Amino acid sequence: MRGGTRKAVLVTGGAGFLGSYLCEQLIEHGHEVLCVDNFFTGTKRNIAHLLDHPRFELLRHDVTFPLYVEVDEIYNFACPASPIHYQHDPAQTTKTSVHGAINMLGLAKRVGARILQASTSEVYGDPKQHPQNEDYWGHVNPIGPRACYDEGKRCAETLFFDYHRQHRVKIKVVRIFNTYGPRMHPNDGRVVSNFIVQALRGEPITIYGDGSQTRAFCYRDDLIAGCLRMMNTPDDVVGPINIGNPHESTILELAESVLALTGSKSSLVRKPLPQDDPIQRCPDIGRARQQLGWEPTVSLETGLKRTIEYFDALLAGRTTRL
C-alpha cells in the first residue's frame, strides 16, 4: 500500500455505466484510480468530470491483452453487459470475460492485489430456483445466444476460485443483479434505459413477450456501495455474494411505472421474447445482509425518477452531474 489508507485502485471497464460511478466513489474516498477501458460500450462523457483530477488516470486498453501496472486493488468490471452489445461480437465477449480474468488474476497474483470480479445473476441462467441464492448452480444454455456472456462469466468465476485455491490470490466475487441508473447508454437496449428513452420521446414502449417475465432492479448507488463493502471485507470473505434489490417487478409493471413517472402518452407494443430470456429473476440477499451488513436503500420509484432526470437532460443536450 502506498502510504496510509490511500490505495492505488485499478478499475477495468471504468468508463462504463457502473465503472464510471465506481471510479468517482473511489476518488471521493481518497484513493488513486487507474481507469482502464477500450471504449467498446463506455464513453469519455461518463468520466469527463474526472479527467482533470490529480488522483485519476485513464488508459485506453483492451483487457484481453496483458497489462503490467502496480496497484493495491482491482475491480474487474470490463465486459459489455447488455444483450445487444454482448451479442454483437460474441467471441470477443467470451474473450473479454475469460482472457480478461486471466490477465487481471495474473496481475493480482504478481503484485499481491485484492481483486473483485463483477459477476452476474446470468450465471443462474433461466433459473429453476426462486429467488436465487448463491448455492444454486444455475440453468444455462451453453450454446445459445446468451452463452457468450453467461458462460464467459461462469468461467471467470472458475478462474477466480482456482487462482484463490492454487495461488492464494485475494478474491472477491459479487453476482450483480439488474442494475439501472444515470449513465446507462441510451441505446444499449436494456429494459430500463429503453423504456425511459421511449417514454421521453413519445415512442412506443417495446414489451418483449407478454411482459409477465420478472426482474428485480437495483439502483446504481446501492450496487456500488455493496461492491465497496465487499472489497473491504476480511480476506476470508470471498463470495460469491448476490448484490441486487429483492423487490421484484414484471416488465409490464416497470413499463407502467415509467409511463406514470414521465407522464408520457406512449403506447405499448409487443415484440417477440428473445431466445433464452429468463422468465423469473430475483436475488436472495441474505448473504449480503449477513456478511456485508448491506441492503439496498433506494426504492424503484426514487431510482427511476433520478434516471429519468438524467435521460431528460441527456436527450435535451444539457449537461448533468448525475
- The partner in contact with residue 66, picked from ligand UDP, ligand NAD, none with C-beta cut-offs of 5 to 8 angstroms by kind, is ligand UDP
Inter-axis angle of helices 300-315 and 191-201, to 10 degrees?
Answer: 60
How many Cβ atoms are within 10 Å of 297's Cβ, its own excluded?
Answer: 11
- The partner in contact with residue 39, picked from ligand UDP, ligand NAD, none with C-beta cut-offs of 5 to 8 angstroms by kind, is ligand NAD
- The partner in contact with residue 245, picked from ligand NAD, ligand UDP, none with C-beta cut-offs of 5 to 8 angstroms by kind, is none
Contact between 78 and ligand NAD per CB under 6 A: yes
Contact between 204 and ligand UDP per CB under 6 A: no
Of 10 and 200, nearer to ligand NAD (C-beta) is 10
Nearest residue to 285 (alpha-carbon basis) of 272, 277, 276, 296: 296
What is the Cα–Cα distance from 134 to 161, expressed in whole angstroms? Answer: 14
Contact between 202 and ligand UDP per CB under 6 A: no
Contact between 40 and ligand NAD per CB under 6 A: yes
Q: How many residues lie near ligand NAD (CB under 6 A)? A: 28
State the alpha helices, DSSP H only, in the chain: 17-28, 83-86, 90-111, 147-167, 191-201, 220-231, 251-262, 286-292, 300-315
- Residue pair 74/108 in contact by the 8 Å Cβ criterion: yes
Contact between 120 and ligand NAD per CB under 6 A: yes
* Binding residue (CB under 6 A) for ligand UDP from 41, 96, 213, 264: 213
Contact between 13 and ligand NAD per CB under 6 A: yes
What is the Cα–Cα distance from 195 to 317, expressed in whole angstroms? Answer: 19
Of 30 and 112, nearer to ligand UDP (C-beta) is 112
Of 37 and 221, nearer to ligand NAD (C-beta) is 37
Residue for cell digits 472458475?
158
Contact between 38 and ligand NAD per CB under 6 A: yes
x/- track of binding to ligand UDP for residues 271-310 (CB under 6 A) = --xx--x---------------------------------
Nearest residue to 123 (alpha-carbon basis) of 169, 90, 88, 155: 155
Residues 6+ apart with CB under 8 A from 293: 229
In a 13 Å sphere around the CA of 65, the CA atoms on its Cβ side amount to 6
Of 66 and 202, nearer to ligand UDP (C-beta) is 66
- The partner in contact with residue 274, picked from ligand NAD, ligand UDP, none with C-beta cut-offs of 5 to 8 angstroms by kind, is ligand UDP
Would residue 12 be called left, alpha or beta, if left means φ above 0 and alpha means ψ between -120 and 50 degrees?
beta
What is the Cα–Cα distance from 221 to 303, expressed in whole angstroms? Answer: 9
Q: Which residues are catalytic?
A: 149
Residues 6+ apart with CB under 8 A from 175: 119, 120, 121, 123, 134, 239, 240, 241, 242, 243, 244, 283
Contact between 294 and ligand NAD per CB under 6 A: no
Contact between 19 and ligand NAD per CB under 6 A: yes
Shortest Cβ 66–ligand NAD spacing (Å): 12
Of 212 and 290, nearer to ligand UDP (C-beta) is 212
Contact between 190 and ligand UDP per CB under 6 A: yes
Chain residues binding ligand UDP by CB under 6 A are 66-68, 82-83, 102-103, 106-107, 109-110, 178, 190-191, 194, 206-208, 213, 215, 251, 273-274, 277
